[in-house]
Structure 1
């Protein structure tokens, strides 16, 4: 099924940072994502995160599968790795969303980055950008909402969700780095 993404429209955009202490050379976001257990994912956004997993798409592209609640929607994300490295990953998903009025889709771009500030002082940067699909635009029109109303609701929900998860992600990435220093060296 072909999905048309309206990248000219922004449904939501959130950037949240969290400062942590750890060895920059041991950080490996790509490995952390591929090894993130469901229960650790749930601890990163208590109440919102439901399940996480790792798989590959038909063409062999690595994928992170995440199930979470954002605002009033149950979101099932099938993130394809567009960039995967130790200190930066860019994940892109055509996400299925179950809303109180039915199913729809959006594109979600999730960027995870770790920057070294000074010595062991690090900054995790969590960026989430969402674009509507044509299906989403038809869905909100059929429900009587405007794009502006839908975008305002999604922006608020996305920002609240990112504020909750970003500091937990940062701590989880550092804990993973401390317990898997050999992973970063591989």
Structure 2
């Protein structure tokens, strides 16, 4: 199945930061993603996050699987690790979205980064960018929406969702670093 992603169009983009205290040299976002338990994932966005898991794609590429509500849509993220380092990961997903109007797809790019401000003072940067697929564009036309209306709704929902999850992600990553330092 070939999916055409419209990376010339931005459906939504959110960049949210949160400051935490942890030993920078023990931060490992890649390892955190690969071992994130479902219940910890749920604590990172109460009510929105439903399940998380780790697998590999057919070609062996590591993948993070996340199931969450964003606004009124149930989103199944199938994130492939494109860049995976202790302080920065770039994940790309062709995501399935279920709404009252049915199923469609979008591309979601999730970037997780931890910057050292000074000593153990760190800043987590959570960036989520979504692009429509051709399937999504046909889907919204069939449901009587314009791209502008769909993008505005998605921007609002995704922005609010990122504001909820970012400080929790930051603290969860920091807690893992603190535990790693203590071990």
Q: How does 1:1-186 map to 2 (within 5 A)?
A: 1-181=1-181
Kept in 1, the 8 Å contact 2:81–2:91? The answer is yes
Kept in 1, the 8 Å contact 2:28–2:177? The answer is yes
Structure 1: gaps spanning 5 or more residues: none
Kept in 1, the 8 Å contact 2:23–2:181? The answer is no
1:60-112 deviation digits (Å, cap 9, x = unpaired) = 00000000000000000000000000000000000000011100000000000
Give, in whole Å, the separation in 1 of the partners of 2:61 and 2:24: 27
**CA RMSD, aligned part only?**
1.0
TM-score w.r.t. length of structure 1: 0.97
TM-score w.r.t. length of structure 2: 0.99
Report runs of 4+ in structure 1 exceeding 4 Å deviation: none
* Paired positions, count: 183
1:111-151 deviation digits (Å, cap 9, x = unpaired) = 00000001111000000000000000000000000000000
